[in-house]
Amino acid sequence: AQSVAQPEDQVNVAEGNPLTVKCTYSVSGNPYLFWYVQYPNRGLQFLLKYITGDNLVKGSYGFEAEFNKSQTSFHLKKPSALVSDSALYFCATRGGGYQKVTFGTGTKLQVIP
């Protein structure tokens, strides 16, 4: 079965500092990994995905993620956090013959001015 884990319920970071939101995965076959962001009272928005190839994936709003096969991780990163980045972030996986997306439990990112 496909699964992803987000070990941190909340991450606090000062505005302007780099941020990292952690995700580890357990999948069979090729790992297709995604990051989504959810703002209050809104649906999920796609940020970026890893399919194959370059381990550093660049996405929307200056976010990027690093795929690490040996550590089975797909951490979300941004060099300089903005207050407007404060939201709920979900790591997800899709694959192994399944059409559905399996989400992590989410990490609340709080960027402090």
Partner 1 sequence: GAGVSQSPRYKVAKRGQDVALRCDPISGHVSLFWYQQALGQGPEFLTYFQNEAQLDKSGLPSDRFFAERPEGSVSTLKIQRTQQEDSAVYLCASSTPRDREYNEQFFGPGTRLTVL
Output the smallest distance, CB 16 to partner 1, in A. Answer: 29
Residue 21: closest CA among 83, 111, 94, 112: 111
In this structure, the strands spanning 73-78 and 64-68 are: antiparallel
**How many whole angstroms separate alpha carbon 50 and alpha carbon 42?**
24
Please, which residue, 3 or 80, has the CB nearer to partner 1? 3
> What x-and-dash track marks residues 9-28 binding partner 1 by CB under 8 A?
--------------------
Least Cβ distance, residue 20 to partner 1 (angstroms):
19
49 scored as a contact of partner 1 (CB under 8 A):
yes
CB contact set of 93 (below 8 Å; sequence gap of 6+): 2, 3, 4, 25, 27, 31, 32, 33, 34, 101, 102
Single residue of 44, 64, 66, 73 touching partner 1 by CB under 8 A: 44
Query: Pattern 57-86, binding to partner 1, x per CB under 8 A?
Result: ------------------------------
Number of residues in contact with partner 1, rule: CB under 8 A? 26
